[in-house]
Amino acid sequence: MAHTAAEWPPEETLSLWKGEQARLKARVVQRDTEAWQRDPSFSGLQKVGGVDVSFVKGDNVRACASLVVLSYPELKEPQSQGSRVPLALTVLPPAGFSDPHALGAGAVLQVVYEDSRMVGLKAPYVSGFLAFREVPFLVELVQQLQEKEPDIMPQVLLVDGNGVLHQRGALTEGPGHRGQQQMERVKSQEHLCAVVQLRCQKKEAPTALLNTGAVTQFSPRVGVYRWMRDRGGSPSHPHHPTLSLRSPEGFGVACHLGVLTELPCIGVAKKLLHVDGLEKNALHKQKIVLLQAGGDTFPLIGNSGTVLGMALKSHDHSTKPLYVSVGHRISLEVAVRLTHHCCRFRIPEPIRQEPEGAETKYMSPRRPRSTCRSRQAS
């Protein structure tokens, strides 16, 4: 029997949520803080976690909150007696992908811990405030693991949702002091980033880009050519040096969870959230078509001129990209690389793993939990 969702919160509650978001947002760290993040091969990273809240089919109130921890790249023995039997997941690098820091063939991600439970969502869904509906249950799962088995705490969490690619903040900011006219000129060139998407092994600068007078910067780890228009002066932004930017980044589920748990978090969304002028229009679809191999990316640049995330082709045979954004205590470059390394299929394994146990009888059988629910924004 389906349950009805909670009533729309009063303005007082929404005001409190806005204040709490602003307070927590000030604590978000968008840089690498751990030694393993600065190592090209992620040396020192041993445990990667994934969290998700899956709705029961046809029910907007009951859900299954899950935490999965996998070894990275391998743990010889399962560390949790109460956990499910470990499942070996061989992650193969995409065909033709030559990232020298990618996991080698036969590397194993192994499930070493999982906790999933049915919960009742008390807060209603309000666009921009999803964290207040779901994050308390995820924080509880992380805290219980910390208390019960601290030795297998994940060193990073992949979150089924968005980080700074979020409307709480992104819509409130405008372009810099050069004005909207210049913003349109800059954005008219931005499509070149997609046009020149090349496989990581290609180092030559494309003629089409050089003819624009742009300065190219190749990023072998991310696998894209980055560019800056040479207009003189010192750049205030890596892609649009002439813009004076404030703080357009939002504060999504991955940010919220990261700040509350103080764990590095990555937002991994399956759909593009339409914020700061980003939309799945013809140009965006063209960029997706130009993603040729697993690991190819293009930046998600909003009207503010800020790179809010990256669209990532996570697998050679995937036709839909993932939208990766910073949650907390990690850089966007490292977030994208790690997400790609965790992908055996389109969805990263820490998120894709379906819950097991009594709760799964309410879910669609043999399907990853990430496909059990439908959300409008995260």
Of 21-25, 108-112, 352-356, highest mean pLDDT? 21-25
Q: Which of 45-49, 71-75, 260-264, 350-354 has the least mean pLDDT?
A: 71-75
Per-residue model confidence (pLDDT) at position 124: 87
Q: Note the pLDDT tens digit of each residue in 265-315.
A: 999 999 999 999 999 999 999 999 999 999 999 999 999 999 999 999 999
**Could you tell me which residue, 170 or 59, shows the higher pLDDT?**
59
Strand segments (E) across the chain: 47-55, 62-71, 88-91, 107-120, 156-160, 214-219, 224-229, 265-269, 297-301, 307-312, 322-328
Q: Which residues pair with 225 in a beta bridge?
A: 218
CB contact at 8 A, 166 and 251: yes
The yes-or-no verdict on residue 180 having pLDDT over 70 is: no
- Above 60 in pLDDT, residue 186? no
CA atoms within 13 A on the CB side of 235: 13
Per-residue pLDDT reduced to its tens digit, 117-167: 999 988 888 989 999 999 999 999 999 999 999 999 999 999 999 999 998
User: Tokens 């903040």 — which residue?
Assistant: 169
Residue 227 has pLDDT above 90, yes or no: no
pTM of the model: 0.71
Structure tokens at 202: 């290609």
* pLDDT for the residue 5: 56
